[in-house]
Structure 1
Amino acid sequence: MEENVPTGGPSWADQWDTSDHADLAKGKEGREKKNKKSGGGLKKGLEKTKAVASSGLKKVKEGSSTGFQWIKDKLHKGTDKQ
């Protein structure tokens, strides 16, 4: 059985990869410098993300509680009619 494996030329990933590989070439030192420059912004971003997630969770909790209470009220009204 023959496999369709290219024998030469760039692979599919090489052809379609649009990421910048300069950081990979620089190694660990290049990434550390980049992280130091954006450290304050990263912390602010994480704080904002945490705040949004927290408020979203509160809304889900309140909505679920209201929904369950509505179902409970409907069930009690249905059983009272008997």
Structure 2
Amino acid sequence: MEGNSSYGTSWADQWDNNPDPATVDAKNNHTGTAKYKQKVGEGLGKTKAVAKTGMSKLKEGTSVGLNWIKTKYNKTSHKS
């Protein structure tokens, strides 16, 4: 085994002539990063819009609920 020149290398190192994907990704990292930043930015924009809509619905629902409670309280307290 020691006389074998392939000692310490994997099958892929011996027979695969394509470049290592990790090396290719490292060289093209700036384009990948830009794509991720764009997707994250779009996702945050959507999240912000949904949160804004949800908060306005929550605020409106709370206001309606408090007014309902106030009306019910006034009806019961004014009975004579």
TM class by shorter-chain length?
A: 0.5 to 0.7
The percent identity for this pair of structures is 11
Count of aligned pairs between the two proteins: 58
Give the superposition deviation at 1:52.
0.5
In 2: Cα distance, 1:67 partner to 1:35 partner: 47
What RMSD, in angstroms, separates the aligned Cα atoms of the two structures?
2.1
* Higher Rg: 2
2:44 is aligned with 1:50: yes
* TM-superposition CA deviations, 1:1-36 (whole Å, max 9, x none): xxxxxxxxxxxxxxxxxxxxxxxxx47435424543
**Which structure 1 residue ranges, 5 or more long, are not aligned?**
1-25
In 1: Cα distance, 2:44 partner to 2:36 partner: 12
2:64 is aligned with 1:70: yes
**Which structure 2 residue ranges, 5 or more long, are not aligned?**
1-19
In 1: Cα distance, 2:27 partner to 2:54 partner: 40
Q: Following superposition of structure 1 onto structure 2, how do residues 2-21 of structure 1 map, counting pairs within 5 Å?
A: none
In 1: Cα distance, 2:27 partner to 2:40 partner: 20
